[in-house]
Amino acid sequence: MSAHSAGQPAASARPLPPALAAGPLVRMAEGTVAMAQAELRKLRHDHLDIVTRSVQPLLWLFIFGTALRNNHVLATGAKDYRAYLAPGVMAQAAMFIAIFYGLSVIWERDVGQLQRLLATPLSRTSIVLGKAAGACVRALVQAVLLLIVLAATGIGLRWNVAGILGALAMLILGTASFACMSMLLASAVKERERFMGIGQLIMMPLFFASSALYPLSLMPGWLHVIARINPLTYEVQGLRQMLVGVGGSGEVWLDFLVVAGFFAVMLAAATRAYPKAIL
Amino acid sequence: MSDGPPALLIDDLVVRFGDLEAVGGVSFAVAPGEVFGLLGPNGAGKTTTIRVLTTLLRPSEGRALVAGYDVRAEPLAVRASIGYIPQAISVDGALTAFENLDFYGRVTGVPRRERRERIEEVVETMGLASMLDRLARTLSGGMLRRLEIASALLNRPQVLFLDEPTVGLDPTARRMVWERLAALREQAGTTILVTTHLMEEAERHCDRLGVIDNGRLVEQGEPAELIERHRADSLEEVFTSVTGRTLDSDGAEGEQEGRLSDVRAQRRTARRLG
């Protein structure tokens, strides 16, 4: 039987196995829910983690924010610099979670979970979406804790229900995008230590070359250009517009559009790259 | 053995990584309900062959049918028909045993109505009832293996792939794993493809064996038949006779703990070797 072809073999005429009885979309939705639920359950077994992670944005807000507020050095348009800063640290803390989420891909590859998952009928998109959902849940818990602290300390946000819901939606979209970016990176890097290094390398420029800490108008021309193509800028501006009401772009729909576009590209890229992580 | 079409049909399979040929023209068939062992040293091509059969890797040449589905043309149907347990730990340590079972039930397409019943079934088969609420990372190596096998049975696979299932286990846990696999095959008639480099296990627990060395299947048959054919006293001697080497060169590796650092080191080596 040496005359086999290296090209496409003919499909056999057998009926599909029962596990594929549901349509592809239903299976994708169920798979995503299963992945996300597993992530949630892991979070429930380790709730201390989310509390310790919530400290970092508070440090930014109350140390960095208070120091700059008292000097009135930044013309942000907001009465209290800490109110201006809050959406910035909210987005940054969420991005921090998301960017290092890809570490779990490397971990799961090293232990064998990834190989196992890829040999199930679970759709590749489900794997990526489910993981991204895990990052989003952590980011949401962190954001809600931050909002509670903001309310308790009387920092002047708008406290508008639609604004808060919109902001959380924006946060989910942004976090999912960066989580997908992280999985894309993890698929390419494959070594834990190197991944950590590259993650740090990406984090800091994304954070500083955005409107998280200061208005775009204060930036020199070259930095302004970088900040304009940085998706975090749009996420922060959207959040700020909806939570604070000033200091954003004023065009929330544009912010949503840019972040949604970024998400679509990252999701597609991560879905393609992820299965290759095991090679 | 049933007379139906083979559960596994591998025809002149070739896998190349660049210039390196990891699998060089392997052919064999496994009948439904059979326990087939792939025997060979590390780096022989066992894991690469399993990766092709589980659709993780596309073959460079040749054909492979799993449960009647072509791994290249119908990878999704193949994935829906198999269970696969890689060599390293594949359950999630941060979830409980029950949550792991529930998760794998969902992602392998077990219908919602049947999920609970199937979980009870595999818990019974693998003797897991007392540890369902424990986080998987607190389980012993033998318990973990049983949990993994249980999680791979939820979709009632036609073919179960086990890559070195007893590596890192103590003799009692090893015996337990094999007992459970024998019971499974008895009850459900599941076809099992297992890789091992432990001659004694291969001889005792497999219906048929394929000896794989340097990416080639150099011998295959029933254990007793192989020993007879090569006028040997043991499979050890058969292996030496067909490959000119002993398995002992890396035999000690199997006795190591299945710790993550070992696994990672092994994997790095495997990646380098292809």
Which of A250-264, B39-53, B237-251 tops mean pLDDT?
A250-264
Question: Side-chain half-sphere of B152: how many Cα atoms within 13 Å?
Answer: 33
A7, pLDDT greater than 60: no
Put simply, the answer to whether B82 touches A119 (Cβ < 8 Å) is yes
- In the predicted model, what is the mean pLDDT of residues B26-47? 90
Provide, as residue numbers in chain A, all residues whose Cβ is less than 8 Å from the Cβ of B16: none
Which of A111, A127, A191, A276 is the mutation pick for testing B, counting most B CBs within 10 A?
A111
Q: DSSP alpha helices (H): ranges in B31-140?
A: 46-53, 75-79, 97-107, 112-126
Q: How many CB pairs under 8 A join A and B?
A: 134
pLDDT (0 to 100) of residue A22:
85
Which of A108, A116, A125 is the mutation pick for testing B, counting most B CBs within 10 A?
A116
Residue percentage of chain A with pLDDT more than 90: 52
The pLDDT mean for chain A works out to 87
pLDDT (0 to 100) of residue A104:
85
The confidence band for B257, taking pLDDT boundaries of 50, 70 and 90, is: very low
Closest Cα in chain B, distance from residue A119 (Å): 6
Interface contact B136, partner A, CB < 8 A: no
The confidence band for B272, taking pLDDT boundaries of 50, 70 and 90, is: very low
Provide, as residue numbers in chain A, all residues whose Cβ is less than 8 Å from the Cβ of B10: none
Q: What is the pLDDT of residues A155-189, one digit of tens each?
A: 888 899 999 999 999 999 999 999 999 999 999 88
Search chain A and give the residue with CA nearest B10: A1
The confidence band for A34, taking pLDDT boundaries of 50, 70 and 90, is: very high
Cα(A186)–Cα(A178) distance, integer angstroms: 12
Task: Give the single-character DSSP code of B140.
Answer: -
Q: Is A159 left (phi over 0), alpha (psi -120 to 50) or beta?
A: left
pLDDT (0 to 100) of residue A12:
52
Provide, as residue numbers in chain A, all residues whose Cβ is less than 8 Å from the Cβ of B58: none
Q: Give this prediction's pTM.
A: 0.84
Please give the torsion angle defined by the CA atoms of residues B268, B271, B272 and B274, in that order, rounded to the nearest 10 degrees. 160
A71, pLDDT greater than 70: no
B250, pLDDT greater than 70: no
A70, pLDDT greater than 80: no
Interface contact B65, partner A, CB < 8 A: yes
Search chain A and give the residue with CA nearest B135: A45
- In the predicted model, what is the mean pLDDT of residues B39-62? 90
Under a CB-based contact definition with an 8 Å cutoff, are residues A85 and A60 in contact? Answer: yes
Put simply, the answer to whether A110 touches B264 (Cβ < 8 Å) is yes
**SS3 of residue B61 by DSSP:** strand
Put simply, the answer to whether B107 touches A35 (Cβ < 8 Å) is yes
- In the predicted model, what is the mean pLDDT of residues B44-51? 91
The tokens 């549901």 sit on which residue?
A22
pLDDT (0 to 100) of residue B274:
39
Provide, as residue numbers in chain B, all residues whose Cβ is less than 8 Å from the Cβ of A115: 51, 54, 56, 84, 86, 90
pLDDT (0 to 100) of residue B267:
52
Interface contact B188, partner A, CB < 8 A: no
Q: What is the pLDDT of residues B82-96, one digit of tens each?
A: 999 998 888 999 999
Closest among A49, A147, A19 to B105, alpha carbons compared: A19
Interface contact B70, partner A, CB < 8 A: yes
A45, pLDDT greater than 60: yes
Q: What is the DSSP string of A145-162?
A: HHHHHHHHTT------HH
Under a CB-based contact definition with an 8 Å cutoff, are residues A173 and A256 in contact? Answer: yes
Ordered by start, the domain boundaries in chain A are 23-278
Give the ipTM: 0.84
The confidence band for B268, taking pLDDT boundaries of 50, 70 and 90, is: low
Q: What is the pLDDT of residues B104-160, one digit of tens each?
A: 999 998 988 999 999 999 998 888 999 999 999 999 888 898 999 999 999 999 999
